[in-house]
Structure 1
């Protein structure tokens, strides 16, 4: 039988991940993120995946999108740029059928908005930063489209293998669902 700490690590990534999941979930239940969970997808032509370091979540979302023939790019809010995908990202993305070996991180300052972009955000803290940087851009919290239907998708960087793979699977499911929804709006 798994102990409580192991269950938390497997389901939420860490104790901090559990706390953020709960806090952001409560805020969401009061409609705090409604604008980023109910998005008009008409005219979306490119998905712009954004996370902290652009070495785990956002490059994986970008690759899933591209493999499914939908234009995409990814950026990090807190990265220097030029770094390859994290080793675990490379390993688990390959296990899921994706190749991220060519990926190099890009800082958000290199982002040039296009009219038909949709900013695909991993967590509410990133959403707040992006609201300041790009207030007119459409934004969606990707976790709301995952099987967990959450507004917070914890950074898997320092998590165990079980959670890391679970996180990438959530991004894969949500990205495919988003592409289908965008296609249904055309």
Structure 2
């Protein structure tokens, strides 16, 4: 069976996108679906490349028993567009910065995370807001919606 490949993207790959990566990994693990997914995250910028996950994200996820050990910021590449099935941005600004990698999104792989919820919009960057609780709540809601969407798509393909 072919794995479903998801890439979460934000500006620096130290707050929101790794939060989404590890929340989604936790959700699919709890659903018994880990072997059917490959999940990663990346940045649109080079500012944080090689840096570990922000302590605010690490601390928030630790509250739920989710570890981000071994994760360091990487930058998205054009090859990622060909490789991943879903490329999920945290905000409109990320979409604009991703244009050089996704080239008008001919395969309709690119979405905002909150597009998979009842309320569309951007996920606030806790680097600026300091509110990792709000970011976590939004990321969790978005990841649950994305997983439900994918499960519906898989059911339709059977």
TM-score by length of 1: 0.67
The one-character-per-residue Cα deviations of 1:19-60 (angstroms, maximum 9, x if unpaired) are xxxxxxxxxxxxxxxxxxxxxxxx982111000010011011
- In the alignment, the residues of structure 1 paired with residue 66 and residue 117 of structure 2 have an alpha-carbon distance, to the nearest angstrom, of 18
Residue of 74, 84, 90 corresponding to 2:52: 84
**In the alignment, what sits opposite 2:67?**
99
Q: 1:169 to 1:97 in 2, by over 3 A?
A: farther
1:143 paired to 2:114:
yes
1:121 paired to 2:80:
no
Larger mean CA deviation between 47-56 and 93-102 belongs to 93-102
Runs of 5+ in structure 2 lacking a partner?
Answer: 29-33
How many residues matched? 141
- In the alignment, the residues of structure 2 paired with residue 116 and residue 133 of structure 1 have an alpha-carbon distance, to the nearest angstrom, of 12
- In the alignment, the residues of structure 1 paired with residue 96 and residue 69 of structure 2 have an alpha-carbon distance, to the nearest angstrom, of 30
Runs of 5+ in structure 1 lacking a partner?
Answer: 1-42
- In the alignment, the residues of structure 1 paired with residue 152 and residue 5 of structure 2 have an alpha-carbon distance, to the nearest angstrom, of 15
Q: Shift of residue 130 of structure 1?
A: 1.9
Residue of 42, 50, 71 corresponding to 1:75: 42
TM-score by length of 2: 0.78
